[in-house]
């Protein structure tokens, strides 16, 4: 008998480390469903996409939608249209869709499924920054509203969904699959990756529009980095969005003139993990890196006013510094003196989350009826 097929949808860099461990767990337990890998093509370059497939051992996608870049509306619309066409193709035989994270592809694929009454599952549901100027916040809200099964990675996710009126029967706490990927690859993480020299170093990653799209904010961050580079080396793998803004605002040269700041292309997973593990601190605006540094017990200063991952502030090593560079400078000094919160274990961040995801997907398929649970409940 053919097994029901679940489309695992990934589109952008942070999706791939969430899908990889679930695919591995599927291979290990042979559950009563067959995964179909759909790459939306939101990220399409070797450095933001292909390298993750290679390093994380994800097999070639079964389907590629080639959505590419564009404005939010255009990118979302292209995935929506292409994914709907795929779902409508009789030979696709997709019975359930699983989307992950909070990128434009997540929103588009969950909408396409919901409109066709195909049950949808959101992995990493319930995260909220309460900041609707962030494109990802809109993606999270809409995705959770239309998905049938919401798989949660941290305690706040459950609380947010309940507060929004989602019935507890649609919510499951599975833990953090990104940590599964980290645990699996830690033995292969390069000791220092591209960092050289004897000085301690900070790893920097930036790509949020609120930090990099305006000259004023990006220039302020660059001045801050130049200031602290008197104390420690800075290793800065530059996201393509950030690279074009640095060039546009004439800031690449300014950073390059400081002998202690190394600008690199975006890194592969194991190179980045090696740097993160060995950095004395990490400065970032990424969501995933706040989680990974918490697990690694590496202090993380987040250049954002809020986080949708508050457990990293209470149990992890994360600290929000926003654009308060005085506070950030002070924190860097304290960290260099060894004064920072070391962090505690976070429930479900144990390297085994993907097996819980597979168990939930199997139970979901077993218990569901022909129409999606949301439609049945009349919600
Ligand atoms: C997207 C996600 C963000 C995620 C981030 C990780 C949304 C709304 N944002 O932001 O949540 O944290 O990915 O990287 O979904 N580009 C390349 N090569 C690629 C892909 C993009 O050069 O493979 C360029 C694009 O042309 C564009 C820029 O990078 O100029 C930004 O790409 P975009 O897809 O708009 O979003 P990200 O900023 O990467």
Q: For 41-54, what is each residue's pLDDT tens digit?
A: 999 999 999 999 99
Question: CA-CA distance, 262 to 114, in Å (whole number)?
Answer: 45
Nearest CA owner, ligand 1 atom 14: 13
The predicted-structure confidence for 231-241, as pLDDT tens digits, reads as follows: 999 999 999 99
Check: CB of residue 37 under 8 Å from CB of residue 59: yes
Check: CB of residue 270 under 8 Å from CB of residue 192: no
Check: CB of residue 142 under 8 Å from CB of residue 111: yes
Q: Which residues contact 149 (CB under 8 A, 6 or more apart)?
A: 119, 120, 121, 122, 170, 172, 360, 364, 373
Per the annotation, the verdict on 207 as an active-site residue is: yes
Nearest Cα neighbor of 267 from 3, 46, 63, 114 is 46
Note the pLDDT of residue 369.
Answer: 47
Note the pLDDT of residue 377.
Answer: 53
Q: Among 106, 107, 240, 266, which is best to mutate for testing ligand 1, by the most ligand atoms less than 8 A from CB?
A: 240
**Ordered domains of the chain (ranges, CATH):** 5-185+350-377 (3.40.50.2000), 193-266+280-336 (3.40.50.2000)
pTM: 0.95
In three-state secondary structure terms, 102 is: coil
Q: Of the listed 43, 122, 207, 355, which one is catalytic?
A: 207
Note the pLDDT of residue 1.
Answer: 73
Measure 219 CA to ligand 1 centroid, in angstroms: 21
Tokens of 60: 């070639």
The predicted-structure confidence for 4-39, as pLDDT tens digits, reads as follows: 999 999 999 999 999 999 999 999 999 999 999 999
Check: CB of residue 182 under 8 Å from CB of residue 295: yes
Residue 335 backbone dihedrals phi, psi, to 5 degrees = -65, -40
Residue 62 backbone dihedrals phi, psi, to 5 degrees = -75, -30
Check residue 208 and give left, alpha or beta (phi > 0: left; psi -120 to 50: alpha): beta
The predicted-structure confidence for 204-230, as pLDDT tens digits, reads as follows: 999 999 999 999 999 999 999 999 999
Measure 23 CA to ligand 1 centroid, in angstroms: 24
């Amino acid at each position: 008998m053919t097994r029901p097929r679940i489309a695992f949808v990934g589109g952008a860099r942070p999706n791939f480390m969430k899908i990889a461990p679930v695919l591995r767990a599927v291979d290990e337990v042979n559950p009563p469903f067959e995964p179909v890998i759909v790459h939306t093509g939101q990220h399409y370059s070797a450095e933001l996409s292909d390298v993750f497939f290679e390093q994380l051992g994800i097999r070639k996608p079964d389907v590629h939608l080639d959505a590419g870049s564009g404005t939010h509306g255009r990118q979302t619309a292209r995935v929506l249209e292409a994914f709907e066409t795929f779902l409508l193709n009789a030979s696709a035989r997709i019975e359930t869709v699983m989307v992950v994270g909070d990128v434009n592809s997540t929103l588009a694929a969950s909408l396409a499924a919901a409109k066709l009454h195909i049950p949808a599952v959101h992995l990493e549901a319930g995260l909220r920054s309460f900041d609707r100027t962030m494109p990802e916040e809109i993606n999270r809200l809409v995705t959770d509203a239309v998905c049938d099964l919401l798989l949660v990675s941290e305690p706040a996710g459950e609380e947010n969904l309940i507060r929004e009126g989602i019935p507890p029967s649609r919510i499951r706490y599975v833990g953090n699959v990104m940590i599964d990927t980290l645990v699996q690859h830690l033995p292969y993480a390069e000791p220092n990756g591209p960092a050289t020299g004897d000085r301690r170093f900070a790893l920097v990653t930036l790509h949020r529009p609120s930090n990099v799209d305006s000259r004023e904010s990006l220039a302020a961050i660059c001045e801050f980095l130049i200031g602290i580079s008197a104390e420690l080396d800075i290793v800065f793998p530059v996201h393509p969005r950030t690279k074009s803004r640095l060039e546009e605002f004439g800031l690449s040269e300014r950073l390059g003139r400081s002998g202690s700041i190394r600008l690199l292309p975006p890194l592969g997973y194991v190179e980045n993990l090696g740097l993160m593990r060995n950095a004395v601190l990490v400065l970032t605006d990424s969501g995933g890196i706040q989680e990974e540094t918490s697990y690694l017990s590496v202090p993380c200063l987040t250049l954002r006013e809020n986080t949708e991952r508050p457990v990293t502030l209470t149990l992890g090593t994360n600290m929000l510094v926003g654009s308060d560079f005085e506070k950030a400078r002070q924190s860097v000094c304290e960290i260099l003196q060894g004064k920072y919160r070391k962090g505690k274990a976070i429930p479900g961040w144990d390297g085994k989350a993907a097996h819980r995801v597979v168990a939930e997907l199997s139970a979901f398929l077993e218990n569901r009826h022909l129409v999606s649970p949301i439609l049945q409940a009349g919600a």
